[in-house]
Amino acid sequence: MSEKFCSGYVGIIGRPNVGKSTLLNAFLGEKISIVTPKPQTTRHRIMGILTLEDSQMIFLDTPGILEPHYQLHRNMVKCAYHVLDEADVVVFIVEPAPLQGIEKRIIERLSSCQQPVLLVINKIDTIQKDTLLPLIETYASMNIFHEIIPISALKLKGTDNLLKTIKTSLPEGEPFYPSDMLTDKPERFFAAEIIREKIFKYYQEEIPYSTTVVIEEFKERKPKDYIQGIIYVERESQEGILIGKNGAGLKKVSTEARKDIEELIGREVYLELWVKTRKDWRKSSNDLKEFGYVQG
Ligand SMILES: Nc1nc2c(ncn2[C@@H]2O[C@H](COP(=O)(O)OP(=O)(O)OP(=O)(O)O)[C@@H](O)[C@H]2O)c(=O)[nH]1
Ligand SMILES: [Mg+2]
């Protein structure tokens, strides 16, 4: 054991939908952060711990940084920028496309970062090779980024190279967490996230964004665990949309979520879901606090 051990926090930031959660899951080889084709999927900081022979990397997936329209958005942006205070290395993810306004503002903020910032161009499986070089040149000319690394988080292209670069950017030090620890949040948090993922998958327009999930009960029982969740919507009219004709919508969410929860916790589950209204919860500081959306 003469090799030095490196450990540290790796903040993953970027605008919504660029593939931050996909990358976290790719690094861990486990799906711990929910992924959907819709933007603004992640609303909390999700920690994923990868312990190797010579290093421990603590990845922090974050909500996409956006132009906030209501209090939940403001909390999400705060949560994302907060990781800049914790991270030893920052991974800033973009898509292989021209920069958006919000990204220019993120870059401004990153330009005063003390720690190394790696620029990751994700989704390179979606573009022609010759469009990549001019993009790399644009980012290189900013003189902000420690490295510029093109990847496809979905196809696992370039992700090993990125992991190596992250590792070499970390400080020397002892591991922060036990080697078998994967994340910092309890099973009930991930159960709620999985239910939210299914709502993002099956509902359109405002429904996913007006929804939050609270796990009221999580009891380990034989032969099945008992989980009771409440899906909160913002208006009574949304309850019916969510429940669907003869309860079909809710049933689909519940069945699929149950399967994923069972896979995650390795036990059989009885999942009971209720739908309730909490008027305009996304705009209420008290409700956001109650639902766990306040950055400590
Ligand atoms: N083609 C392609 N799609 C990708 C890649 N990485 C992620 N995606 C897709 O992009 C979409 C968004 O991925 P997420 O990982 O949820 O993105 P995110 O940045 O975490 O999004 P927010 O949580 O909303 O901020 C999903 O449909 C992913 O499957 C990639 O390398 N190639
Ligand atoms: Mg995400």
Ligand 1: does its nearest atom lie under 6 Å from the Cβ of 25? no
What is the CA(17)–ligand 2 centre distance, in A?
A: 7
Q: Clarify whether residues 192 and 150 are in a common domain.
A: no
Does residue 176 belong to any structural domain of this protein? no
What's the CA angle centered on 8, arms 31 and 110, to 5 degrees? 90
Tell me, using a 6 A CB cutoff, whether residue 75 lines ligand 1: no
Atom of ligand 1 nearest to the CA of 153: 31
Whichever domain contains 143, its CATH number is 3.40.50.300
Q: Which atom of ligand 1 is nearest to the CA of 122?
A: 31
Ligand lying closest to the C-alpha of residue 25: 1
Ligand 1 near 91 CB (within 6 A)? no
Q: Which amino acid is at 98?
A: P
**Single pTM value for the model:** 0.96
* Same-domain check for residues 156 and 246: no
72/42 same-domain check: yes
Q: Verify whether ligand 1 is closer than 6 Å to residue 20 (CB atom).
A: yes
Report the distance separating Cα 178 and Cα 161, nearest Å: 25
Residue 254 lies in domain: 187-290
Atom 30 in ligand 1: residue holding the nearest Cα: 123
Question: Quick one: which ligand is closest to 15's CA?
Answer: 1
Q: Which residues contact 228 (CB under 8 A, 6 or more apart)?
A: 215, 216, 217, 218, 272, 273, 274
Do 162 and 194 belong together in one domain? no
Q: Mark whether 214 and 150 lie in a shared domain.
A: no
Residues 216 and 258 reside in one and the same domain: yes
How far apart, in Å, are the Cα atoms of 255 and each of 6, 33, 44, 196, 248?
A: 42, 19, 24, 13, 10
Q: What is the pLDDT of residues 223-263, one digit of tens each?
A: 999 999 999 999 999 999 999 999 999 999 999 999 999 99
Q: Is residue 295 part of a domain?
A: no
Q: Does ligand 1 have an atom closer than 6 angstroms to the CB of 32?
A: no
The mean pLDDT values, 10 residues at a time, for the chain of 296 residues are 85 98 97 96 97 97 97 97 97 95 96 96 95 95 97 98 97 97 96 98 96 97 96 97 96 98 95 98 96 78
pLDDT in tens, 94-108: 999 999 899 999 999
Q: Provide the CATH number for the domain around residue 276.
A: 3.30.300.20
Taking the centre of ligand 1 as the mean of its atom positions, its distance from the CA of residue 286, in whole angstroms, is 31
Q: How far is the C-alpha of 197 from the C-alpha of 203, rounded, in Å? A: 10
Give the tens place of pLDDT for each residue, 21-41: 999 999 999 999 999 999 999
How many independent structural domains does the chain possess?
2
